[in-house]
Amino acid sequence: MLQTYAPILILAVLVAGFALASLVLSDLLGKKRRSIGKADAYESGMDPRGSARLRLSIHFYLVAVLFILFDVESIFLIPWAATVRGLSAQGLGPVMFFEVLAFVGVLALGLAYVWRKGGLEWDR
């Protein structure tokens, strides 16, 4: 019975081992040039000291959300573009066309919405 759990154990050991090996090996093999900046906590380029409750412009979030929206759009459009020719040859042209039309139509409505609401303007 317990043997069937072996794959989980092996996976756990591999994951822990990889993490440990990465830390130990980089410590053993890596060059060590110490400086104040390097000894500091890494905080994605932010200053790690002071209050964490900084005020960030809401624009950054808006841009990030819009980026994800239209980024995902391209992820879906690329496989469509790659397969459309082959599938059209099999008589699926109209299906492919209206399928992507509905998809792009919904996104176009979203873009129009963002545009008219002033979401694309940085200074408002």
Residue numbers at the binding site for other proteins (CB under 8 A): 1, 4-5, 7-8, 87, 90-92, 95, 106, 109-110, 112-113, 116-117
Distance CA 48, CA 42 (A): 7
Looking at the Cβ atoms of 70 and 113, the one nearer to other proteins is 113
Minimum distance from CB of 26 to other proteins (Å)? Answer: 29
Side chain identity at 40, as an amino acid letter? D
- Nearer of residues 40 and 99 to other proteins, judged by Cβ: 99
Closer to other proteins by Cβ: residue 48 or 105: 105
Q: Report the C-alpha gap between 79 and 84 in whole angstroms.
A: 8
Compute the least distance from the CB of residue 36 to other proteins, in Å.
Answer: 35
Q: How far is the CB of 84 from other proteins (least distance, A)?
A: 11
Q: Name the residue nearer to other proteins (CB basis): 72 or 95.
A: 95
Where does residue 15 rank: exposed (0-12), middle (13-18), buried (19+ CB within 10 A)? exposed
CA–CA gap between residue 100 and residue 98 (Å, rounded): 5
Q: How far is CA 71 from CA 21, 100, 123, in A?
A: 35, 16, 23
